Amino acid sequence: MKVDWHGAELNRATVIDRHYRHTQNVRRFMIAACGEAFRFDRDLKAWIRSEVPKTLGDVMDERQRRQRAR
């Protein structure tokens, strides 16, 4: 089922499909979940778009892993 990335109610279990977009709706969700400092950087965007299936929860976990590694 295709997700409306502009208006859907998002949660950790939302599956990132081939129609995924970095919308304001996704940014609002990620900022609420990860904090005001959240930003999509080029590497994270590339990781999201990789062929490996993932959810928004996976993106949150990967972002936190990258923050700890800095």
Checking if the pLDDT of 7 tops 90, the result is yes
- Reduced to 3 states, what is the DSSP secondary structure of residue 15? strand
Please state, as a whole number, how many other Cβ atoms lie within 10 Å of the Cβ of residue 60. Answer: 16
pTM, two decimal places: 0.90
The pLDDT of residue 51:
87
Instruction: Give the domain extent around 51.
Output: 1-70
Contact 53, 18 (CB under 8 A): no
The pLDDT of residue 15:
96
- Please state the domain count of the chain: 1
